[in-house]
Chain A
Amino acid sequence: MEFDFSPIFENWRYLRDGLLITISLSVLSIIAASILGGAIGLARVYGPRWLAGVLAFYVDSARSIPALVVLIWMYFAFPLMVGISLPPFWAAFIALSAYIAAYISEIVRGGVLSIRSGQTRAAKALGMSQNQTILKIILPQAVVRILPQYGNMLSITVKNSAICSVIAVPDYLQNSGIVAAQTYRPLEIYTVALIVYIAMILPLTRSTDWLYSRLSHLGRS
């Protein structure tokens, strides 16, 4: 068996473009999912009961549907419902964000609830309002506590971004597939793909773990 990595060098620009799509889809999705998930998690703890109920339903549903099904629904079904068609990249962005947000909301909710009630009592006793207590006292500690799980979500987001290739988003996996088909070198090209995903994800989880080991005392009340 002979290895020939030349197709990768010959097509590096094309693969790089795919990589950039994977990275931008992941980054945009994780930002949107963090904002959405954070808001949902907080609303479930501090919001009115009816809202918490609606959001619990959303979170449970999103966690019960495979990411791939969410994506396909977003691309093929959602446009029929609202009457506009979505470009594949943005369909993938919305699907991935909505999917990851459900998990992040659970992490945020757990983090907030893990901070003992004495902290809230101390803040209130100093005359702080509910909002000041959440923003200045509870959230900073919760953010530290959830770092390891959040790092996990970063890696899950990057990994799950690969499913966007089923709706022909030209991401790293999609472009690798095209190069593999044209050059008849799937072994080399997909092996490099494995390595590229590891190279993207490992530093993410490692650095959040490192950050956590440096900061964990700030969340220990």
Chain B
Amino acid sequence: MSRMDHQRNAIGKPPIVTYNNVEKCYGDFTALNGVTAEVNRGEVVCLIGPSGSGKSTLLRCTNALEQINGGEIIFDGAPLPKGENNVRLVRRRMGMVFQSFELFPHMTAIENINCAPVTVLGMPKREAEELSYSLLKKVGLVEKAHSYPSMLSGGQQQRIAIARALAMGPEVMLFDEPTSALDPETVGEVLSVMSDLAGEGMTMIVVTHEMSFARRVSDWIMVFDKGRVIEEGRPDNIFKHPTEGRTKEFLRHVGVEV
């Protein structure tokens, strides 16, 4: 790994999330078994690996939707705080996008987007609406501002969900398989919004099975297996010269020639 760390730090970006020997158990089952890793500001990091290897769990621990059982997660220089009120202050600074969108069905697209800024940050309604429109423009859905989620396609719903997360002005975006629930023809529109975001310098941690996206957009790839990072590196290295047998096996499994 030292080989790759050397390449990675050439840009000299400071870390924003650091995982130190993170452990997470569900009852007897160990979902995260000592994850040590770093995400730097402005990086796009893709988490790949077989089903059940703990990728979603790591994302949920990152914004404290789940409590870790061991180790520590450091966000912007400070360990994740304890207690619901302190945790909320940290969550505001991270955006999360889910496989199943999780738009609020009783709110229109624009209400979905301005709900959190108004409710959580106390932003004046006018200002929140302006912000929402600029985000709708960014994801290319201004004309759907007043549509309810039930009237939108999966790809459109996921783009609204991305706009909703961006409305809080996050410093990191967490994506959990954002395209896995989509019809093949709408995957592209979501990935292109994500690529744009990456191009703007947003820090992104992305769990994905879209290997071509991971290869093209990410700065760094972490391969998960059985609750651990078994290998990490630049996309070219991971995809062309994986060192771990299980990485090779996984890549072959998802149809990447190695």
Contacts and interface: CB of A to CB of B under 8 A. Distances in A.
A118 B103 CA distance: 9
B31 interface: no
A125 B119 contact: no
A125 B63 contact: yes
A219 B84 contact: no
B104 A137 contact: yes
Given A127-B91, A128-B119, A218 B65 contact: no
Given A121-B65, A125-B65, A144-B106, A132 B98 contact: no
Contact of A136 (B85, B102, B119, B148): B119
A220 B88 CA distance: 27
A64 B89 CA distance: 47
Contacts of B65: 121, 124-125
A218 B106 CA distance: 4
B100 interface: yes
Contacts, number: 72
A126 B91 contact: yes
A122 interface: yes
Interface residues of B, number: 29
A194 B251 CA distance: 73
A121 B84 contact: no
Interface in A104-123: 118-119, 121-123
A82 to B, nearest CB: 41
A123 to B, nearest CB: 8
List 7 tightest A-B contacts by C-beta distance, closest first: A122-B102, A127-B92, A126-B116, A125-B96, A217-B150, A218-B106, A127-B120
Interface of B: 60, 63, 65, 84-85, 88-89, 91-92, 94-96, 98, 100, 102-106, 115-116, 119-121, 148, 150, 164-165, 168
